[in-house]
């Protein structure tokens, strides 16, 4: 299966030390990119096309992470 990029934009007024972070959360690998303080930040991961179970798991992990971040 071909992979697709899943991205979730979010607003975060807190700035972390670096602009880009790679990490795993609940078994899913993510890339967090902080933009300019006036732009949205983005959480990215790659999921296979057509595998709804994996995509839903990645989306749930992203939601859990963003909830914990806020």
Residue 63 pLDDT: 93
pLDDT over 70 (residue 1): no
pTM equals: 0.84
Q: Which of 68, 63, 64, 8 is nearest to 40 (CA)?
A: 8
Domain region containing 51: 3-69
Interval 16-68: pLDDT, tens: 899 999 999 999 999 999 987 777 899 999 998 888 899 999 999 999 999 98
Number of structural domains found in the chain: 1
Q: What does the pLDDT read at residue 2?
A: 75
DSSP helix/strand/coil, 41: strand
DSSP-derived 3-state class of residue 9: strand
Residue 7 has pLDDT above 70, yes or no: yes
């Amino acid at each position: 299966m071909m992979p697709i990029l899943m991205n979730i934009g979010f607003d975060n007024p807190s700035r972390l030390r670096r602009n880009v972070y790679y990490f795993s959360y609940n078994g899913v690998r993510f890339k967090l990119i902080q933009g300019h303080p006036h732009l949205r930040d983005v959480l990215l991961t790659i999921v296979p096309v057509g595998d709804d179970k994996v995509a839903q798991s990645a989306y749930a992990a992203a939601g859990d992470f963003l909830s914990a971040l806020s």
